[in-house]
A and B are shown apart, each in its own frame.
Chain A
């Protein structure tokens, strides 16, 4: 089982729709969780960190469920500019006690007029 799993999509939604992505992770000792956004052939950029209490940034809401080992991203009122690939990132411990990131394969979102 891959450490971080995402549905690759694509999710094809009309403008204004609400869309949700889930991401599951296999290592129960994972420490930190993030969503990154990647536009076609561009570098990934941090969208938001994911906290145990859940967090919201404008139209975006992220949730963490440690018991079930998944994180989610909810996008409300989708815009054409939200079309991108959304990468789930989970940090895992190294043998030296530090944490390094593991990326999911990404979920593709296409928002159409």
Chain B
């Protein structure tokens, strides 16, 4: 089984709808991240969380919110989706105990289309 899972894998929705993307991990890592990727723009950090009580905005948090329900779960919400939020969304984890590398482990991604 995959260590970092994301649901749904694909979603098509309409402008104005509320959407939640979910991420779960079995790696036991304390840090979790949400990124979006647009063609030609690389990955942009939306929110990150270093533990359940620590949530921080990334580069492009406007229009998004997150919830860290448990160490293993980190959800991303779009309260009122708009077409320019159409993108590929990745969740990632890392481990503060692995301070020498802080390797990011990514989920398979969620492809979101907002019509």
Contact = CB atoms under 8 A, between A and B. Distances in A.
B102 A94 contact: no
Given A87-B42, A103-B43, A46 B103 contact: yes
Interface string A73-113: 00000000000000101010010101111111110000000
Classify chain A: how many residues form its interface, as a range: 20 to 34
Given A43-B108, A94-B56, A105 B101 contact: no
Contact of A46 (B42, B88, B104, B109): B104
Contacts of A100: 33, 45, 48, 58
B12 interface: no
A106 B103 contact: no
Q: Which of B41, B100, B102, B109 is most buried by chain A, counting CB atoms within 10 A of its CB?
A: B102
B102 A32 contact: yes
A57 B41 CA distance: 28
B113 to A, nearest CB: 14
A43 B106 contact: yes
A34 to B, nearest CB: 8
Interface string A13-46: 0000000000000000000101010000111111
B50 interface: yes
The 9 closest A-B pairs by CB, nearest first: A43-B106, A105-B42, A103-B43, A103-B42, A46-B103, A49-B101, A44-B106, A43-B108, A106-B42
